[in-house]
Amino acid sequence: MAQVTLRNVKKSFGTVDIIKGVDLMVDDGEFCVFVGPSGCGKSTLLRMIAGLEEISSGELDIGGQSMTNVEPADRGVAMVFQSYALYPHMTVRDNIGFGLRMTGHDRADIAARTARAAQMLQLGPLLERKPSQLSGGQRQRVAIGRAIVREPEVFLFDEPLSNLDAALRVQMRIEIAKLHQDLKATMIYVTHDQVEAMTMANKIVVLSAGRIEQVGSPLELYHRPCNQFVAGFIGSPKMNFIPASVVSATAKEVELALPGGTVKIAAATALKRGDKVTLGVRPEHIMLTDKSKANLAAKLRVAEYLGSETMFYATLEDGTDVAAKADGLAKAEIGATLNLTAPPKACHLFDGAGRAIHNGDLSR
């Protein structure tokens, strides 16, 4: 088993800096998820760990060994891509064993490893089929099988489920989580899917433009984002950001004027009267209330009745758009005024540079 350590890892393509200095430790056996906007460098980082892309500067260790002069095949890593890239003319069995045949493993060993992987992935009955005779989910399982038989210490997954439909994604997500429990290997997994990131990860790494914004457990990032970028990136629908100004502040409490009322937050800050801040509150924490208790006056633009919940999209009197998640039985007319309240314990505060100056304390 293996720890993966990156120290000040950088990557440039020509004169363009893509990865701008990444320091990260992925512990042995950990399930680490990379998230970030398209083009931020997630695949490039994975490919550098796999050895498919050269590192421009910095250090990469796997299992305590420097990988500087180690070939991809000798790193003890296996990568699973979004496109399954199976050989169409080979059976499932031959696709799974192909890499081992290339590296000269003996036939009995290949057969035993293939059988074990097939059992783990429930591919036993499909071993003699060709890829064209498989569903998308089954093909992706073959691609994972091909990685498993190599018995890597580190699995690298680059959006392996994004070509699958919603139901299959859920099933494969559970299967990969189980695989992680069974194999106890280190896994690094790239996804755009919030639910995959939150449910599979021990550790989430939020990337933006080639840098790490924050590293933490899923719930740490959800409850204690260090800046507005992470706050807006983790959680779906995303956190609401509302301009606010400080009415009064003491060492223990700050009172803010919002579009439609005020809120008093127990927070130790250096804020003073007149300061401008951004208040962050998640749609699931905003509440519908009576007019007398509301601190956000909103006009309803769109309502989505999802059965289990109702999503209200509304505009505050200063023009800021907000989303509020309500009970599935909640109803309102388009254009009506919604009396909303941002509960003090759920409020985050960000300064002009987007840094968190206070996180809500719902989780404490």
Ligand X SMILES: Nc1ncnc2c1ncn2[C@@H]1O[C@H](COP(=O)(O)OP(=O)(O)OP(=O)(O)O)[C@@H](O)[C@H]1O
Which positions lie near Mg ion, rule CB under 5 A?
43
DSSP 56-70: SEEEEEETTEE-TT-
Binding of ligand X at residue 139 (CB under 6 A)?
no
Q: Which stretch binds ligand X (CB under 6 A): 32-40, 100-108, 160-168, 170-178?
A: 32-40
Closest CA to 359 of 262, 298, 285: 285
Binding of ligand X at residue 141 (CB under 6 A)?
no
Question: What are the Cα distances from residue 337, in Å, to 217, 237, 283, 311, 352?
Answer: 38, 21, 17, 15, 30
Smallest separation (angstroms) from ligand X to the CB of 24: 15
Q: Is 343 exposed, middle or buried (0-12, 13-18, 19+ CB in 10 A)?
A: middle
Binding of ligand X at residue 212 (CB under 6 A)?
no
Among 2, 4, 9, 18, binds ligand X (CB under 6 A): 18
- Report the partner that residue 15 touches, choosing among ligand X, Mg ion, none (CB closer than 5 to 8 A by kind): none
Smallest separation (angstroms) from ligand X to the CB of 41: 4
SS3 category, 319 = coil
Binding of ligand X at residue 13 (CB under 6 A)?
yes
Q: Which stretch binds ligand X (CB under 6 A): 34-42, 163-171, 284-292, 324-332?
A: 34-42
Binding of ligand X at residue 169 (CB under 6 A)?
no
Among 4, 22, 40, 263, binds ligand X (CB under 6 A): 40
Helix ranges, 246-341 (H): none
Contacts of 119 (CB under 8 A, 6+ apart): none
d(CA 242, CA 145): 48
Smallest separation (angstroms) from Mg ion to the CB of 158: 6
The number of C-alpha atoms within 13 Å of 132 and in the hemisphere containing its C-beta is: 3
Closest CA to 4 of 37, 57, 48: 48
Smallest separation (angstroms) from ligand X to the CB of 79: 13
Binding of ligand X at residue 223 (CB under 6 A)?
no
Binding of ligand X at residue 41 (CB under 6 A)?
yes
SS3 category, 171 = helix
Q: Which stretch binds ligand X (CB under 6 A): 35-43, 213-221, 234-242, 355-363?
A: 35-43
Query: Which two tokens mark 144?
Result: 């994972």
Q: Tell me the torsion sign for CA atoms 113, 116, 122, 124.
A: positive
Smallest separation (angstroms) from ligand X to the CB of 39: 4
SS3 category, 250 = coil
Smallest separation (angstroms) from Mg ion to the CB of 80: 13
Number of residues binding to ligand X, judged by CB under 6 A: 10
Binding of ligand X at residue 2 (CB under 6 A)?
no
Binding of ligand X at residue 43 (CB under 6 A)?
yes
Smallest separation (angstroms) from Mg ion to the CB of 93: 30
Q: Which stretch binds ligand X (CB under 6 A): 38-46, 255-263, 267-275, 304-312?
A: 38-46
- Report the partner that residue 328 touches, choosing among ligand X, Mg ion, none (CB closer than 5 to 8 A by kind): none
Nearer to ligand X, 20 or 130 (CB): 20
Phi, psi of 68 (to 5 degrees): -50, -45
Identity of residue 130: K
Q: Is 184 exposed, middle or buried (0-12, 13-18, 19+ CB in 10 A)?
A: exposed
Q: Are strands 154-158 and 57-62 parallel, antiparallel or unpaired?
A: unpaired
Smallest separation (angstroms) from Mg ion to the CB of 160: 12
Binding of ligand X at residue 35 (CB under 6 A)?
no
The residues binding ligand X (CB under 6 A) are 13, 18, 36, 38-44
